[in-house]
Amino acid sequence: MTREKKGTLLPPPRAAATQSRWRSVGALMLHAIAVAVLLKTAFELYQHFTAGENPSASLVKCLQVDPLVPSQQSPALFEMEQYLRTDKFRDETVERLAGAVHIPTQTFDDLGAVGEDSRWDTMFELADYLKSTFPLVHSSLTLEKVNTHGLLYTWKGADPSMRPTVLMAHQDVVPVAESTIEQWTHPPFSGFYDGKYVWGRGSSDCKNTLIGILESVELLIEAGFEPKRTVVLSFGFDEEIQGNQGAGHLSQVLVDRYGKDGAAVLVDEGGGFADSWGTTFALPGVAEKGAIDVELIVRMPGGHSSIPPAHSGIGVASELITLIEANPYEPRFHAENPFLGLLECANAYSPKFPSSLKKHLPWKEPSCPAKKDKLAIEAAKYGDSIKYLFTTSLAVDIIGGGVKTNALPERTRVVVNHRVNVGEKVSTVQAKIAHLAHTVATKHNLTLQAFTDEPEIPSSIKLIAKETLEPAPVTPTTVEGVTPYGVLSGTTRALYGESMLIAPALMTGNTDTRYYWDLTKHIFRYGPGYDPELGFDLGGIHTVNEKVSVVAHTRLVQWYSLFIRNMDEAKLA
């Protein structure tokens, strides 16, 4: 029997109750199936991510900011931007750079004190050249000379609450050995321009940066730009010989003036651009490896060479060298190493990123602590230039001993240079080399003096730590909110286009920034000039035929002019 209600056929009461129960059961079953599907999907995604087969996880870790263009414009600033793209500007900046290259501001390891050794005097010539070449800089900025040759320019901003932007370069260059002069295509201090490159010592390390920074400030002043955020230019003069006379003094002045973490950002020479597995990345250096030179002194009895012992001091030193070189450091990633960030970016964006590396990404899962070690071993196979981004290096660079062919050497000296991996300590190197030296000392019945202050004694091996430097603090690379890394990235993409990606990089060497760690946490070692035709090109730094692409140099000036303005507008967290 049925009932009708508003034209709808209804089931009997018992049948309706039964159907209602089945509907509830069916709904629960469908819900359970949906949950199971979701769990299965989540598990599959997790498997993909932990296997490194899906770049989505890396995309999250390699966020790219939008191109950043200054919002404040004027007819004069617009005219300046157009002028920077002209042949006229190119020719004028080439002339200014060449003029700086002409001045041989070489620094030597055996230089005496500033004011006493006349070889420092070339710095006076360069300072005079800069004054005559950039008149607006010298009339509008305050110039202080620190320790005679350090040049500290301050462009005071209107808002004292804004922490300053600090831009750096060094005035000195690596010496040119007399024996190599004939090997140069163009004389090493000629500044010769062949239509594509400016040639000469310092053209790419780093008088191009020195001139480029001053060029950008000169043009901004001419265009009527008045900063709200103070801009500081800090130019050392002995970076190539550790920098303690120049940057060592300049940094102290700035820390005293602005306080610890008193600067918003610091940009110095450093990383550039590279093609990584089919994708071009800009690579600002956000960290540096540490360093320690270990001096090994072997003291052995002398005597006539006609009655030699089984092993002379040179022989024992050689045995220790062989043992040291036979025990290199293993490749190892620590979580703070910025090269991991580049690998994540390449995994996310590079079409040719190798599966041999992909399967070890991401590497942060607590359940897979060994992933970093496997990744390091695999990545090291791509060559030494890659391996030493996450491996402590050692190099035996100096050896000397003996004074005469018929006299046994009483004192043999060896110096071993180490560059300490990010995440490791100088003390790790000391402990390892002391252990190896103990083995040799015991074998030859010598006393080991490992990193003590006691004087040398006969029949001994003494280890001395020289020029020690821990790995640098790692600069934050977050782009959440307005950050210095975000401003640097946005400026770069504004200049080169959105196809240019940004990834953090690591410096295997050390720059003048080693003295500025207290001034700011936001230190970038970055050469922003890029020539797409050349790709990554070191420009022959520290060797014959040093040169710089003029396209790269003009882009460098454009970048600094944009960066100063973008930082001026940045409301940093």
Mind listing the pLDDT tens digit for each residue in 108-141?
999 999 999 999 999 999 999 999 999 999 999 9
396-422 as b/e, with b when 16 or more CB fall inside 10 Å?
Answer: beeeebbeeeeebbbbbbbbbbbbbbb
Q: Where are the beta strands (DSSP E) in 160-213?
A: 165-170, 197-199
Query: Strand pairing of 150-155 and 142-146?
Result: antiparallel
> All domains of the chain, ordered by start, with CATH?
76-287+472-569 (3.40.630.10), 288-469 (3.30.70.360)
For the annotated binding site for Zn(2+), the residues are 170, 205, 240, 268, 542
**Amino acid making up residue 289:** K
Distance of CA 512 to the CA centre of its chain: 11
**pLDDT given for residue 58 in this prediction:** 55
DSSP 3-state of 22: helix
Per-residue pLDDT tens for 304-318?
999 999 999 999 999
Which tokens in the block code for residue 12?
Answer: 């009997």
Q: 420: part of which helix (H) or strand (E)?
A: strand 411-420
Confidence of residue 10 (pLDDT cuts 50, 70, 90): very low
172 included as an active-site residue:
yes
pLDDT of residue 371: 73
pLDDT-derived band at 54 (thresholds 50, 70, 90) equals very low
Q: CA-CA distances (angstroms) from residue 282 to 149, 205, 502, 531?
A: 32, 18, 5, 12
Instruction: State which amino acid sits at residue 133.
Output: T
Whether the predicted pLDDT of 422 surpasses 50: yes
Nearest to 264 by CA among 159, 152, 371: 159
Residue 45 has pLDDT above 50, yes or no: no
d(CA 393, CA 289): 10
Please check whether residue 271 is in contact with residue 507, taking contact to mean a CB–CB distance below 8 angstroms. yes
Task: Please report, as a single letter, which amino acid is at residue 459.
Answer: S
Interatomic CA distance for residues 2 and 437, integer angstroms:
102
Strands in 16-88 per DSSP E: none
Q: Which two tokens stand for residue 474?
A: 């790692």
The catalytically annotated residue of 215, 218, 239, 344 is: 239
- Would you tell me the crossing angle of helices 87-102 and 207-222 to the nearest 10 degrees? 130
Longest dimension (CA), the chain: 129
Known binding-site residue numbers: 170, 205, 240, 268, 542
Q: What average pLDDT does the structure give for the chain?
A: 89
CA–CA separation, 119 and 152 (whole Å):
21
Catalytic residue among 172, 215, 288, 512: 172
DSSP-assigned letter for residue 332: -
pLDDT tens-digit map of 341-371: 999 999 999 999 999 999 888 755 554 556 7
**How far apart, in whole angstroms, are the C-alpha atoms of residue 434 and residue 441?**
10
C-alpha distances in Å from residue 208, one per residue of 98, 154, 320 = 9, 20, 43
Rounded average pLDDT over 24-40: 35
Helix (H, G, I), strand (E, B) or coil at 4: strand
Q: What's the DSSP call for residue 2?
A: -
pLDDT at 573: 73
pLDDT in tens, 186-214: 999 999 999 999 999 999 999 999 999 99
- How far apart CA 212 and CA 561 sit, in angstroms, is 9
Residue 460 — very low, low, confident or very high, per pLDDT cuts 50/70/90?
very high
Residues 415 and 321: their CA atoms lie apart, in Å, by 10
Question: Burial code of 464-485, b = ≥16 C-beta within 10 A, e = fewer?
Answer: bbeebbbbbebbebebeeebbb
- Please write the tens of the pLDDT for every residue from 139-185: 999 999 999 999 999 999 999 999 999 999 999 999 999 999 999 99
Whether 47 has a pLDDT exceeding 90, the answer reads no
| Rg value, the chain, Cα | 31
* Per-position b or e across 105-123, b if 16+ CB within 10 A of its CB: bbbeeebeebeeeeebebb
pLDDT at 84 over 50: yes
Q: Please report where in the chains the tokens 């003096």 appear, as a residue.
A: 449
